[in-house]
Structures are given as structure tokens and as C-alpha cells.
């Protein structure tokens, strides 16, 4: 019997690659929007990861007629009141390169001692079935760390080079992909979602 298809509701190729690695053993055929000829620009106007991810999952499920899995995630820096948070992908401007974002964060953290540079990555995954069923499920994952004063590492993407993991003594971008997946926010959320998908 053919496997059910699961649409990864994102155009971010890094996220697609990570989710395929994380969910590779579930009994679904993971497909990207490009592979099914779908191009959506879904706004993310809400102030919670759950609301934004739900909007994306529902939009992709409705447009494709497929089960859809959406992610919303971000970096939360305690000394900045939780910023950039849900605005992480647009922090400093939608087209600002990440090295410039790192510099902007470091500028805002000027004078903050190392022990107060605490932060976390948070990920919320939402699964949606297409209409008229409209079933939803969601899970979350968090990993704690600190903001490094200097970007390090060439693995990963986004804010990984400035996310310091004290227990490992490296930034997220210095971890090999499998090591990152074992501890990351998206890895933890994906393992919880895998159980939901197996139950479905």
C-alpha cells in the first residue's frame, strides 16, 4: 500500500532538509511545496508561534488537499525581553543578512555579563488535515543556551553560530547535523510529532 504523503509547509530549504532527517522513519512520504507545484506566501502576523504555525499548516493543507506540517520557531534572549522571538526571521528587517543580525544583537547586549546572556530556541510544530476534516495537533520543543559574543561554526543555519551550548562547549553551528538534531528545539519537537503521526 502506498504511503500517505505529508506536506512540509515551508519554503525554507534548510528546514525541509532538517525535517526529512528528523522524520525519516515515520510511515509517510515527506514532500516539499515545490515537489507538488505549490507556491504559497502565508502571512505570519500573530504574536505566538502556535498561531503562526497553525495559520501556515491550515493554509498549506487547504491548498494542497494533503496533510500538512508547519513550523514556527525563534530565538528568545532573556536580556532583550524575549526578543527577537516570533520575529526572529525578520529581526532587523526581512532581508538583513544573519551576520548583520548577529552584530545588532551584540550591540543590544553591550555591557550584559556572560551569565545574563541566557537564551533559548523554541519550536512549535502544527499538523493540519485538509478541509472538511480540519483536525489539528501541535507539539513544542525548547533548547536552552547562551548568546556567544562571536559567531562560530559553519554547520546549521539562522542563529546557530551565536547560540552557545555550555554543556557541550560549542555553538549550535559547530555541531554535526546528527548531534544537533539530538538536542535541538526542532529535533525535540519532531520526535514528539513523530509519535502523533504514528498514532494518526
Of the candidates 150, 159, 128, the one whose C-alpha atom is nearest the C-alpha of residue 52 is 128
C-alpha 48/C-alpha 123 separation (Å) is 11
For helices 13-22 and 185-199, give the axis angle rounded to 10 degrees.
60
C-alpha 134/C-alpha 132 separation (Å) is 6
Q: Exactly one of 29, 72, 134, 181 is catalytic; which is it?
A: 72
C-alpha 63/C-alpha 87 separation (Å) is 25
DSSP, res 67: E
Which residues touch 81 (CB under 8 Å, ≥6 apart)? Answer: none
- What's the angle, vertex CA 173, arms to CA 172 and CA 177, rounded to 5? 85
Q: The C-alpha cell of 30 is what?
A: 515527506
Q: Is 133 a catalytic residue?
A: no
Query: Annotated active-site positions, please?
Result: 72
Amino acid at each position: 500500500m502506498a504511503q500517505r504523503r505529508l506536506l512540509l509547509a515551508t519554503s525554507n530549504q534548510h528546514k525541509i532538509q532538517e525535517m526529512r532527517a528528523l522524520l525519516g522513519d515515520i510511515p509517510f512520504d515527506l514532500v516539499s511545496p515545490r515537489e507538488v507545484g505549490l507556491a504559497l506566501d502565508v502571512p505570519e502576523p500573530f504574536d505566538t508561534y502556535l498561531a503562526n504555525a497553525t495559520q501556515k499548516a491550515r493554509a498549506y493543507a487547504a491548498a494542497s488537499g494533503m496533510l500538512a506540517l508547519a513550523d514556527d520557531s525563534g530565538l528568545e534572549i532573556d536580556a532583550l525581553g524575549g526578543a527577537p522571538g516570533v520575529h526572529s526571521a525578520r529581526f532587523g528587517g526581512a532581508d538583513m543578512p544573519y551576520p548583520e543580525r548577529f552584530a545588532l544583537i551584540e550591540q543590544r547586549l553591550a555591557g550584559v555579563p556572560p551569565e545574563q546572556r541566557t537564551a533559548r530556541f523554541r519550536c512549535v510544530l502544527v499538523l493540519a488535515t485538509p478541509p472538511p476534516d480540519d483536525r489539528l495537533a501541535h507539539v513544542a520543543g525548547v533548547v536552552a543556551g547562551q548568546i556567544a559574543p562571536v559567531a562560530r561554526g559553519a554547520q546549521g543555519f539562522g542563529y546557530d553560530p551565536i547560540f552557545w551550548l555550555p554543556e557541550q562547549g560549542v555553538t549550535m553551528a559547530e555541531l554535526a547535523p546528527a548531534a544537533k538534531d539530538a538536542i535541538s528545539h526542532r529535533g525535540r519537537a519532531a520526535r514528539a510529532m513523530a509519535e502523533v503521526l504514528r498514532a494518526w
